[in-house]
């Protein structure tokens, strides 16, 4: 049983990942009910100083030391350093002194909440821009997680996947019959703008078409390789 293929594995992972984030957001909101906004005024100055130290001194040093000896580029480490405190865990940990009745525990809790809130507002909202600025990711990059898995393939291990035809692909302005797809792979649909077509041998393929193929994980990579091969004229 342990080796059996999990049907809709990627969809299940996405669902549980989203559920985990939803629970963390819910926890963040519930913990926020423990905070009195008027009391945050007392921690603004020390909170700003603490946030500055964490963002630009403590966290970068900790990240660089933790990733020492690994094949990470300086830009990768800078991006990890900028991720910041985005979650409810620090606030939950700050409730422990309150529960134990530690002296000035309320001040500690308010300071931690302020720092996390500021980190979310500054680092959390600017993370995509910082990643693009550092050149770590680009809008044209795609990965397997971004590929749509529509249905499970049962015992065959095949499922429906969508693959976009690049503009410089050799298959542009060619007919479906000219494609040399792996054996057992079926070209099911072609989506062009708002039009969905059932492909036949004489059907022409255009740049930007989204082709839906029935294939397993290995075969879909082969299909991507075929479609991404540039035309000799480019």
SS3 of 87-98: the string is CCHHHHHHHHHH
Strand arrangement of the beta sheet that strand 159-164 belongs to: 159-164, 210-215, 186-192, 195-197
Q: Is there a contact between 65 and 5 (Cβ–Cβ < 8 Å)?
A: no
Q: Is there a contact between 112 and 171 (Cβ–Cβ < 8 Å)?
A: no
The DSSP secondary-structure symbol of 121 reads: I
Q: What string of pLDDT tens digits covers the 234 residues of the chain?
A: 455 556 567 778 888 888 988 887 888 788 778 888 888 888 999 999 999 998 899 989 999 898 888 888 888 888 888 886 666 788 888 889 988 888 888 888 999 889 888 888 888 888 889 888 888 765 444 444 445 555 555 445 678 888 888 888 888 888 888 888 888 888 888 988 888 888 888 888 888 889 898 888 788 888 888 888 887 765
The DSSP secondary-structure symbol of 56 reads: I
Number of neighbours of residue 180 by Cβ within 10 angstroms:
6
Task: Give the predicted TM-score (pTM) of the model.
Answer: 0.53
Domains along the chain with CATH numbers:
9-134 (no CATH), 144-228 (3.30.70.1450)
């Amino acid at each position: 049983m342990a080796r059996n293929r999990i049907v809709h594995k990627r969809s299940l992972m996405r669902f549980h990942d989203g559920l985990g984030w939803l629970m963390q957001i819910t926890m963040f909101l519930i913990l926020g009910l423990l905070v009195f906004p008027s009391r945050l005024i007392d921690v603004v100055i020390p909170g700003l100083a603490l946030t500055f130290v964490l963002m630009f001194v403590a966290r970068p040093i900790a990240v660089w030391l933790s990733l020492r000896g690994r094949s990470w580029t300086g830009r990768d480490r800078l991006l990890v350093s900028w991720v910041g405190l985005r979650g409810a865990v620090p606030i939950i940990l700050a409730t422990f002194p309150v529960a134990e009745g530690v002296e000035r525990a309320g001040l500690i809790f308010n300071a931690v909440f302020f720092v996390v809130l500021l980190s979310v507002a500054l680092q959390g909202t600017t993370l995509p821009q910082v990643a693009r600025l550092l050149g770590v990711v680009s809008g044209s990059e795609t990965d397997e997680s971004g590929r749509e898995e529509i249905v499970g393939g049962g015992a065959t291990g095949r499922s429906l996947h969508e693959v976009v035809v690049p503009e410089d692909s050799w298959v542009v302005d060619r007919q479906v019959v000219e494609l040399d797809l792996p054996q057992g792979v079926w070209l099911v649909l072609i989506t062009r703008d708002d039009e969905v077509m059932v492909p036949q041998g004489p059907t022409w393929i255009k740049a930007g078409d989204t082709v839906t193929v029935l294939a397993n994980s290995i075969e879909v990579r082969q299909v991507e390789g075929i479609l991404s091969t540039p035309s000799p004229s480019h």
